[in-house]
Amino acid sequence: MIGRQPFSPLRTRRTPPVPGAVEIARIRLMVAGSLAIAAFLLVAVRLTIVTVLPTPEAARAGTQIESSNFRVSRADILDRNGQLLATNLDTFSLYANPKLIQNPRLTAQNIVAILPELREETVVRQLKEKRDFVWIKRRLTPEQKYAINKLGNPGLNFRTEERRFYPAGEVTGHIVGFTNIDNRGLSGFERKFDKDLTESDTPLSLSIDLRVQHLMYQALLTSLRRFKARAATGIVLDANNGQVISMVSLPDFNPNYLSSNNVKGLFNLATQGVYEMGSTFKIFTIAMALDSGEITIQDGYDASKPIRVGRFLIRDYRPKNRWLSIPEILLHSSNIGSAKIALDIGHHRQRDFLGKLGLLERPTLELDEQELGSPIIPDPWREVNAMTIAYGHGIAVSPIQITSAVAAVINGGIYYEPTLLLTRSTRRGQRIISNKTSDKIRRLLRLVVSEGSGRKADAKHYLVGGKTGTAEKVKDQAYNRKALRSSFVGAFPMNKPKYVVFAMVDEPIGNKDSRGYATGGWVAAPLVGKVIAQIAPLLGVKPINYESPKVRNQMAIGIRTKKLEKKHFASF
């Protein structure tokens, strides 16, 4: 029965509800409802905040400039003026799917017609392989890619690969270096800075000036051909911070087209090679002597007789057979005089001095160790060594070392380690000699160019100073008088040197122009003079009036020709 059911609706209807029960239900409903509304409101408010009100992130997203979505896998290398020296370019590598090639012989013929460096038989064999991927040729030019596409063969396809490209080619080859097919640096900067170049996108700036580099390259090439020489090298260095402005070595190589049989070209004479420099070392001998304070510019030595030391005979190339003052020892490039100076100073001090000039250790240039030659120094360093080293024999250093060392003795006495990286801030150097000694060396080197063996280096109006060096090459364990290594190291302008220029020509053969001579004064000095005349305007060096009293005064030097008897007071 219905009526008996304890909770039937009928029953509830019949019995009046307990007062308050409806109220309770309503309150419960209200509470539940308001909770729901509150939750919805919360969502609404949050939605408004997120979508309508500006947030810092949203504001940033709107103004952000999207430019970083293009990345190269290897950073560019630039010269000091921002000229591109190395960059990555997309190239197209041709591969074939032999399964899709209908007629391998005809296809191979067509391919070889476009890529003549491939051999037809090889290509036919490749196209007959039972694979579905085979490289035909990597790194095609856009024209070649277009021609292959024009064949319309569905079995031929391309893959994009990045390739290193060097716009300046062989002119910067030794410095910038090159990479292998997978873009890993193998030499030069590419090798030394491989990690930095691959990790970051920011270009690397070299201290090299491409224009100067080009002029040095051309001048060396002309000399190399004119004197039928084996090799040549040249360096331009900023005298006041050690930055290398130019560094060329011939023979060379083109990093864009490497060939495995050009081993000679890869060798960098400027840093890898170490050579007996000859008379240019006399600069250091005299700088050391004058800075010691024990020998003054008024002093001199008897150079009338050759010196015999054991089995060595130290002679002068053009003997004066008389007493020579310090300026004359440099001017006439007296080996006897230099050797006697070194004896007076002593071999220990000589060793220390050359060490401070960075001539006894591998230089700290930004190149791989394999590309930096270690100097060859005598061990033990005895008196006899001191005597030959005084005029640049019995010690072999690299051109970059001697250039940096000369910069130190003429720039006021501060040695800067050479660098290939562009630095805008001032670099720290080390004082080697006093400013006063440096000033004397400047006058002496100017004298060598205005009066002595370096005359041909005088680029008019740029007040060049420097020293020639002619070293006999060692052949069959003996010095060979016919095989020379002619060099010149100079600086300009000599009243306030800005740049040091070094050039060396290996085994030049004298010709009519040089009156048969192959010495530093006839081969390297005119080369340096020519380079300076061309680069000085580019580097912003102002012409100098040789006749102005100020310049004459800056370059004046007293020369004695006899002991304690002043002969003349030469300006320059």
Catalytic residues: 279
Distance, CA of 408 to CA of 427 (rounded, Å): 13
Does 153 help bind another protein (rule: CB under 8 A)?
A: no
Contact with another protein (CB under 8 A): which of 114, 224, 324, 536? Answer: 536
Q: What minimum distance in Å lies between the beta carbon of 95 and another protein? A: 22
DSSP conformation class of 278: G
Region label for 412, one of left (φ > 0), alpha (ψ between -120 and 50) or beta (otherwise): left
What is the length of the chain? Answer: 572
Q: What minimum distance in Å lies between the beta carbon of 150 and another protein? A: 22
Distance, CA of 438 to CA of 441 (rounded, Å): 5
Distance, CA of 6 to CA of 244 (rounded, Å): 108
Name the segment binding another protein (CB under 8 A); options: 62-70, 247-255, 440-448, 473-481. 62-70
Distance of CA 54 to the CA centre of its chain: 52
Contact flags string 323-362 toward another protein, x per CB under 8 A? ----------------------------------------
Q: Which is nearer to another protein, 180 or 545 (CB)?
A: 545
Does 137 help bind another protein (rule: CB under 8 A)?
A: no
Distance, CA of 337 to CA of 314 (rounded, Å): 10
Contact with another protein (CB under 8 A): which of 211, 332, 446, 560? Answer: 211
Distance, CA of 271 to CA of 244 (rounded, Å): 12
Distance, CA of 189 to CA of 398 (rounded, Å): 19
Q: Which is nearer to another protein, 167 or 516 (CB)?
A: 167
With a CB cutoff of 8 Å and minimum separation 6, the contacts of 503 are: 219, 220, 223, 232, 233, 234, 235, 487, 488, 524, 527, 528, 531
Q: In terms of DSSP bridges, do strands 565-570 and 557-562 run parallel, antiparallel, or are they unpaired?
A: antiparallel
Contact with another protein (CB under 8 A): which of 37, 89, 181, 263? Answer: 89
Distance, CA of 568 to CA of 558 (rounded, Å): 7
Enumerate the β-bridge partners of residue 558: 569
Q: What minimum distance in Å lies between the beta carbon of 72 and another protein? A: 7
Q: What minimum distance in Å lies between the beta carbon of 447 and another protein? A: 21
Name the segment binding another protein (CB under 8 A); options: 63-71, 93-101, 421-429, 478-486. 63-71
Q: What is the DSSP string of 492-553?
A: ESTTS--EEEEEEEES----TTTTT--SHHHHHHHHHHHHHHHHHHHTTPPP--TTSHHHHH
Does 83 help bind another protein (rule: CB under 8 A)?
A: yes
Does 221 help bind another protein (rule: CB under 8 A)?
A: no
Q: Which is nearer to another protein, 12 or 545 (CB)?
A: 545
Q: What minimum distance in Å lies between the beta carbon of 67 and another protein? A: 7
* Greatest distance between any 2 Cα atoms in the chain: 155
Q: What minimum distance in Å lies between the beta carbon of 88 and another protein? A: 8
Contact with another protein (CB under 8 A): which of 17, 346, 355, 537? Answer: 537
Contact with another protein (CB under 8 A): which of 25, 28, 90, 302? Answer: 90
Does 280 help bind another protein (rule: CB under 8 A)?
A: no
Name the segment binding another protein (CB under 8 A); options: 8-16, 84-92, 441-449, 499-507. 84-92
Does 533 help bind another protein (rule: CB under 8 A)?
A: yes
Contact with another protein (CB under 8 A): which of 119, 348, 542, 550? Answer: 542
Q: Which is nearer to another protein, 211 or 340 (CB)?
A: 211
Distance, CA of 251 to CA of 234 (rounded, Å): 12
CB of 375 closer than 8 Å to CB of 274: yes
DSSP conformation class of 230: S
Q: What minimum distance in Å lies between the beta carbon of 454 and another protein? A: 18
Name the segment binding another protein (CB under 8 A); options: 133-141, 362-370, 372-380, 532-540. 532-540
φ, ψ of residue 544 in degrees (nearest 5): -120, 135
- Could you say which residues in the range 164-183 bind another protein, by CB under 8 A? 165, 167-169, 171
Residues in binding contact with another protein, number by CB under 8 A = 38
Contact with another protein (CB under 8 A): which of 137, 138, 184, 214? Answer: 214
Give the 3-state secondary structure of residue 227: coil
Give whole-number Cα distances, 268 to 119, 223, 235, 272, in Å. 35, 18, 12, 5
Q: What minimum distance in Å lies between the beta carbon of 24 and another protein? A: 27
Neighbouring C-alpha atoms within 13 Å toward the C-beta of 106 = 7
- Could you say which residues in the range 481-520 bind another protein, by CB under 8 A? none
Does 218 help bind another protein (rule: CB under 8 A)?
A: yes
Does 545 help bind another protein (rule: CB under 8 A)?
A: yes
Q: Tokens for 429, please give them.
A: 């150097």
Q: Which is nearer to another protein, 87 or 233 (CB)?
A: 87
- Could you say which residues in the range 417-476 bind another protein, by CB under 8 A? 459-462
Contact with another protein (CB under 8 A): which of 108, 148, 197, 210? Answer: 210
CB of 390 closer than 8 Å to CB of 295: no
Contact with another protein (CB under 8 A): which of 67, 102, 261, 477? Answer: 67
Q: What is the DSSP string of 435-455?
A: HHHHHHHHHHHHHHHHHSTTG
Residues near another protein (CB under 8 A) are 66-67, 69-70, 72, 83-85, 87-90, 165, 167-169, 171, 210-211, 213-215, 218, 459-462, 533-534, 536-537, 542-548
